[in-house]
Amino acid sequence: LPELPEVEIVRRGLVNLTPGLAIVKIELLRPDCVAGEAQEFINGLEQQTLHHWQRLGKYLLGKLDNGGWWVVHLRMTGQLLWLTTPQPVGKHTRARMFFTGGSELRFVDQRTFGRMWWVPPGQEVTQVVTGLRGMGPEPWDCSVQDLYQKCQHSQRPIKTALLDQTWIAGLGNIYADECLFLSGIDPSTPCHDLSRPQIETLHQAIIQVLETSIQAGGTTFAHFRHVQGMNGHYLNQAWVYGRAGQPCRVCGTEIQRRKIAGRSSHGCPRCQPKRPTKH
Ligand SMILES: [Zn+2]
């Protein structure tokens, strides 16, 4: 499912295409893709002009000229597709947003977990979008000290902690595995057993992996596309994710997949050795 880099790539696509355009008309083919009252969503957004797009974790936030917000979360299979010519409406089309100039932004979502919100002018987005409350800092805004403090007080495996959106916003299974490999940390290591140098390395690796992936256009899943339909190619260069049974790119040892707290984890047993605890 989309993680931070994929949502960031969708955001960059929207930033290139929509600011300055007004939403002329909205058609909700499946009104429950909107959180709250469907007609309020339509009335709130129609005739409004988009100013810019931000991202918080995996949420896309479109700021309107009138001060309101249009918030989108793609969840597992949601896609936003920018169409400049008429296209047949498929069975997974949930909503159609038509813009000045004749283009359409189409919300397609096979599993139907994706959601959109309208935040009226003058209200904080967290008042309306409850999932944004308590969300941790963006990886770029999370300091080494902050990460260190969190680890000191947690006995969970570091892999599990990295997936916790209240710790760091936007990391999912793929990039958590990748940055643990880059930092040479066994994913099952309890957080409080990590040394300060290990946490410094991990902090750098998180930023590095996310930036590499954004440059590669993200990871393409069955249901992730850029708003203009291109694919990402991060997985071609992934260190461990999706490579179980293949040789480690550094040492040649077979990459292993195992379950940690219910999630599959990929790693190299040689590059990510279990270490004696520091206690
Ligand atoms: Zn290795």
Sign of CA dihedral 34, 44, 118, 120: negative
- Lowest mean pLDDT across 34-38, 71-75, 125-129, 218-222: 218-222
Annotated active-site residue 120? The verdict is no
Q: Is residue 167 scored above 80 in pLDDT? A: yes
Q: Assess whether pLDDT exceeds 90 at residue 97.
A: yes
Q: What is this structure's pTM?
A: 0.89
With pLDDT > 70 as the criterion, what percentage of the chain qualifies? 96
Please confirm, yes or no, whether 58 is among the known catalytic residues.
yes
What does the pLDDT read at residue 224?
Answer: 62
Pairwise CA distance, residues 106 & 94, whole Å: 8
Give the active site residue among 11, 55, 58, 94.
58
CA of 267 to the centre of ligand 1 (A): 8
**Is 161 a residue whose pLDDT tops 70?**
yes
Q: What is the pLDDT of residue 219?
A: 77
Mean pLDDT for 66-71 is 98
Query: In angstroms, what is the span from residue 152 Cα to ligand 1's centroid?
Result: 27
What mean pLDDT do residues 17-29 have?
A: 96
Give the pLDDT confidence score for residue 275 in this predicted structure.
78
Task: Give the pair of three-digit tokens for residue 12.
Answer: 């960059």
Classify burial at 139, counting beta carbons within 10 Å of its beta carbon; exposed 0-12, middle 13-18, buried 19 or more: buried
- Reply yes or no on whether the pLDDT at 139 is more than 70: yes
Q: How far apart are CA 163 and CA 77, in angstroms?
A: 19
pLDDT for position 43: 98
Residue labelled with tokens 């040649």: 252
Rounded to the nearest angstrom, the distance between the alpha carbon of 263 and the centre of ligand 1 is: 21
Identified catalytic residue from 63, 75, 257, 263:
263
Please confirm, yes or no, whether 31 is among the known catalytic residues.
no
What's the pLDDT band for 117 if we cut at 50, 70, 90? very high
Residue 279 has pLDDT above 80, yes or no: no
Task: Please check the confidence at residue 104 and state whether its pLDDT lies above 80.
Answer: yes
Report pLDDT for 77.
Answer: 87
Task: Check residue 248 and give its pLDDT.
Answer: 98
What is the mean predicted confidence (pLDDT) over 116-142? 95
Instruction: Provide the residue type at 112 as one letter.
Output: T
197 included as an active-site residue: no
Residue 187 pLDDT level (bands cut at 50, 70, 90): very high
77 to each of 55, 111, 213, how far by Cα in Å? 18, 6, 19
Which pLDDT value is given to residue 216?
A: 87
Between 220 and 195, the more confident residue is: 195
Q: What is the number of H-type helices and E-type strands within the chain?
A: 7, 10
Cα separation, 59 vs 55, in Å, equals 6
Among 24-28, 86-90, 158-162, the range scoring the smallest mean pLDDT is 86-90
Contacts (Cβ under 8 Å, ≥6 apart) of 134: 166
For the segment 213-259, what is each residue's pLDDT rounded down to a tens digit?
Answer: 998 888 766 556 677 777 777 888 899 999 999 999 999 999 999 99
- Which of 58, 53, 54 shows the shortest CA–CA distance to 7? 58
CA atoms within 13 A on the CB side of 32: 4
| Other CB atoms within 10 A of residue 131 CB | 17
**How does the average pLDDT of the chain come out, rounded?**
93
Of 76 and 100, the structure prediction assigns the larger pLDDT to 100
